[in-house]
C-alpha cells in the first residue's frame, strides 16, 4: 500500500535531527554574550559616530556658528526644526555677521535622525552627536530649545534627573 506524502522516518533519523537541533541550542547558550547591558553598563560609541542628538556649535571666540538661516528647517523632511532669525547687535553680536538665530528648536518627536539638516548647514553650526539617550515624558520635554542644543551632551548614562539643561 502506498501512502501519499513522505515515508514515515525511522526512530534514529528522528533522534539525530533532535540532537542536531539541541546542539545549536546548547552552543548558543554558552556562547559569550554580545548584547550591551545598557544602562547598567555604558559602552562608548565609535569615535566618529553621529547617531544622536544635535548640537549647535560655537566658534573659538564663543560666538555662535548658527546664523539663523533656516536652511536646516528647509532641508528637514519631518518639519522638526523651528528657526527664527534676528538682527545682530553690532556692539554685542551673538554670531558673526548680520544675522543670528533668535530662537532655535528641534522637536525630537518628529526628528528622524536623517542628518539632512547637518548637510544643509552652511556654517557647520549644526552637527549630530553620539548622544542617543533621548527619552521624555511629555511633548514639551521632547522639544529642545536653543540653550539646550548649545550645551554639549552629558556623558552617556547620566541619570535623566541629573541631565544638564533638563
Half-sphere exposure of 90 (CA within 13 A, CB side): 0
Can you tell me which of 71, 106, 117, 128 binds other proteins, judged by CB under 8 A? 71
CA–CA separation, 57 and 63 (whole Å): 9
What DSSP element (H or E) covers 12? Answer: helix 11-30
Determine if 67 is a binding residue for other proteins (CB under 8 A).
yes
For residue 107 the three cell numbers come to 522637536
Nearer to other proteins, 95 or 148 (CB): 95
What is the x/- site pattern for other proteins, positions 77-116, by CB under 8 A?
--------xxx---------xxx-----------------
Cross-strand pairs, 128: 54
Can you tell me which of 68, 81, 106, 117 binds other proteins, judged by CB under 8 A? 68
Strand ranges of the sheet holding 143-144, from the earlier edge strand across to the other edge? 81-87, 99-107, 143-144
Determine if 119 is a binding residue for other proteins (CB under 8 A).
no
Can you tell me which of 16, 74, 77, 151 binds other proteins, judged by CB under 8 A? 74
Determine if 64 is a binding residue for other proteins (CB under 8 A).
no
**54: nearest Cα among 124, 131, 161:** 131
The binding site for other proteins (CB under 8 A) comprises 67-71, 73-74, 85-87, 97-99, 122-123
Amino acid at each position: 500500500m502506498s501512502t501519499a506524502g513522505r515515508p514515515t522516518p525511522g526512530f534514529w533519523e528522528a533522534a539525530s535531527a533532535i540532537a542536531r537541533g539541541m546542539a545549536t541550542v546548547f552552543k548558543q547558550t554558552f556562547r559569550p554574550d554580545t548584547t550591551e547591558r545598557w544602562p547598567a553598563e555604558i559602552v562608548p560609541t565609535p569615535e566618529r559616530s553621529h547617531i544622536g542628538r544635535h548640537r549647535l556649535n560655537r566658534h573659538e571666540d564663543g560666538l555662535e556658528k548658527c546664523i539663523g538661516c533656516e536652511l536646516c528647517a528647509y532641508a528637514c523632511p519631518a518639519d522638526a526644526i523651528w528657526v527664527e532669525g534676528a538682527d545682530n547687535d553690532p556692539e554685542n553680536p551673538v554670531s558673526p555677521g548680520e544675522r543670528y538665530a533668535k530662537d532655535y528648536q528641534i522637536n525630537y518627536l518628529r526628528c528622524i535622525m536623517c542628518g539632512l539638516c547637518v548637510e544643509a548647514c552652511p556654517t557647520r553650526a549644526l552637527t549630530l552627536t553620539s548622544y542617543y539617550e533621548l527619552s521624555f515624558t511629555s511633548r514639551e520635554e521632547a522639544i529642545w530649545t536653543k540653550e539646550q542644543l548649545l550645551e554639549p551632551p552629558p556623558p552617556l548614562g547620566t541619570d535623566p534627573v541629573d541631565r544638564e539643561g533638563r
